[in-house]
Amino acid sequence: MIKFSELNLNPKVLKAIEEAGYTEPTPIQAGAIPPALEGRDVLGIAQTGTGKTASFTLPLLSLLARGRARARMPRSLVLCPTRELAAQVAENFDTYAKHLKLTKALLIGGVSFKEQDKLIDKGVDVLIATPGRLLDHFERGKLLLTGVQIMVVDEADRMLDMGFIPDIERIFSLTPFTRQTFFFSATMAPEIERITNTFLQNPERIEVARQASASETIEQGVVMFKPSRRDRADSEKRNLLRALIDGEGEKCTNAIVFCNRKIDVDVVAKSLTKHGYDAAPIHGDLDQSQRTRTLDGFRAGDLKILVASDVAARGLDVPAVSHVFNFDVPGHAEDYVHRIGRTGRAGRDGKAMMICAPRDEKNLEAIERLIQKAVPRLDNPITGTSPAAEAETPEDSKSDDTPPRRTRSRRSSSKPKADPVDTTAAEAPAAEVVAEAPAPEKPAETPQDDSQQKSSRSRRGGSGRGRSDNGNGNNKVVGMGDHLPSFIALSFDERRTG
């Protein structure tokens, strides 16, 4: 097995590595460090948790060991998609560069521009930034990128998901063409591959694991969840989450619970806290100071359960996370790989459990296609039923999920009914009375009668409705009283000649 001492790293960097307790590089580190030290562009593809950060940090420090930065012109640039990942890279820099006289600056949102401007004005060897804050400093005229010798893009596929690709392309155009580029990603989407073909010069490609594969040290499982009623789905799902956590017992030393939406992160965290669990939320809408305190508490072991959105799926490096619970099935299959990659890191064993509602089954199928294996189905710890028993039965389709039918009756059942006599007298419509009247005798056919009948039918649209007969051939129009004006019975011809 190759050792760090065989990779031609700077002696002061090697000393820091030994003090950190590392002797053997991971496969991605062993593959990426030698060509990086030779000055070549590097394209690294590896699953999360394999040590990609040190793969570019160690050669970067060795290459920058000599030289001095000028004001507002950093010598190297590391781009990260999230604040947490940028902070992690900064921590790695502090660990491995403690014997080198190199300076760094961290440009992330939620921090004062004034403090960051002071660091840039002094000149920095390593500039670690998120794309948005970096461009903010550039547009304010506080930063020049023409002195960048080495550029690193970390978690490029996450950059794509977050919509940073246009910013990345613009930043590339602001750096010198002669720069050396390190490009690292867990997956290689077509858009990412297009960028690498455009901005990397004959890169050394290192792929140490199949793209978008989960670590073999992670035990996976999914509970197929079906609520008893639609309006109880959210509360029953939270009950199931607590049952899963309780079922792991002492084996669950700490855990990350992932939700798809920020509002669900807050709700789940409050629910866990209400039921006596040590939990706290972290998502993009929180202040940076609060996010930092929460992460520091989780890393230190003061916080047991971290409820997070996908902002923590990348860059959160806590080596001893025992469990990951997916409260929601992620909408993108790649996010599943990154979420469960928070456990089982550095060769440790881990466990990832997921709750899948009926509407999430298509996303589950996409995940299984991506990782090329089925996620084992687990028994429901509340009902004690197996996955096969969760299938819908005829009893399931009864009134639990089906709302009661609404009657179309205009008469409320709570209203007192009127007497039968009153109902007949008051509510029977005139049309019903006419229908029950005896059929009139057919009058003798005379020209005058024909003209009167035709005139009457033409005025009533050719129908006999609305007319009653007294049996003597004397028609009455309902609603006009007993008196029928004589002119109405006249035909049009008689009216003109009359």
Start-to-end CA span in the chain (Å)? 124
pLDDT of residue 167: 94
Both structure tokens of 458: 């033409």
Q: Could you tell me which residues are beta bridge partners of residue 258?
A: 308, 326
pLDDT attached to residue 211 = 54
83 contacts 108 by C-beta, under 8 angstroms: yes
d(CA 356, CA 363): 9
What are the φ/ψ torsions at residue 64 (nearest 5 degrees)?
-95, 5
* pLDDT at residue number 158: 81
What pLDDT score was predicted for residue 413? 43
CATH superfamily membership of 4-207: P-loop containing nucleotide triphosphate hydrolases (3.40.50.300)
- pLDDT over threshold 60, residue 336: yes
Q: In what order do the strands lie in the sheet with 305-308?
A: 279-282, 305-308, 255-258, 323-326, 350-356, 218-224, 377-378
Best CA proximity match to 13, nearest among 47, 57, 71, 72 = 57
pLDDT > 70: percent of the chain: 73
**Tokens 């039923």 sit at which residue?**
385
Asked: is 218-397 a CATH 3.40.50.150 domain? The reply is no
Q: Indicate if the pLDDT at residue 173 is higher than 80.
A: yes
Distance CA 146, CA 298 (A): 39
pLDDT of 407 > 50? The answer is no
E strand or H helix that includes residue 23: none
For the chain, give every domain's residue range: 4-207, 218-397, 442-497
- Residue 216 is given by DSSP the state T
Query: Which one is predicted more confidently, 64 or 442?
Result: 64
pLDDT band per the 50, 70, 90 thresholds, residue 313: low
Read off the pLDDT band of 484 (50, 70, 90): low
With cut-offs at 50, 70 and 90, classify the pLDDT of residue 309.
Answer: confident
pLDDT (tens digit per residue) in 140-166:
999 999 999 999 999 888 888 778 899
pLDDT(485) > 70: no
Confidence of residue 116 (pLDDT cuts 50, 70, 90): very high
Encoded tokens for 128: 């670690």
CA-to-CA distance for 151 and 56, rounded, in angstroms? 10
Higher pLDDT, 134 or 495: 134
Domains 4-207 and 218-397 share a fold: yes
Instruction: Give the three-state DSSP class for 356.
Output: strand
- Asked whether the predicted pLDDT for residue 455 surpasses 60, the reply is no
What are 44-57's pLDDT values in tens digits? 988 766 788 899 99
C-alpha atoms less than 13 angstroms from C-alpha of 471 in its C-beta half-sphere: 2
Quick one: tokens of 463? 């129908």
* Helix %, strand %, coil % of the chain (to 5): 45, 15, 45
Angle at 341 between CA 337 and CA 343, to 5 degrees: 145
- Mean of the per-residue pLDDT values for the chain? 80
Placement of tokens 């970067």 in the chain: 60
| CB 59, CB 204: distance < 8 Å | no
Q: Which helix (H) or strand (E) holds 76?
A: strand 76-79
Residue 291: helix, strand or coil by DSSP? Answer: helix
> Regarding predicted confidence, which is higher, 472 or 427?
472
| pLDDT recorded at residue 244 | 95
Q: What is the pLDDT of residues 185-201, one digit of tens each?
A: 877 888 888 999 999 99
| pLDDT reported for residue 315 | 59
H/E run at residue 489: none
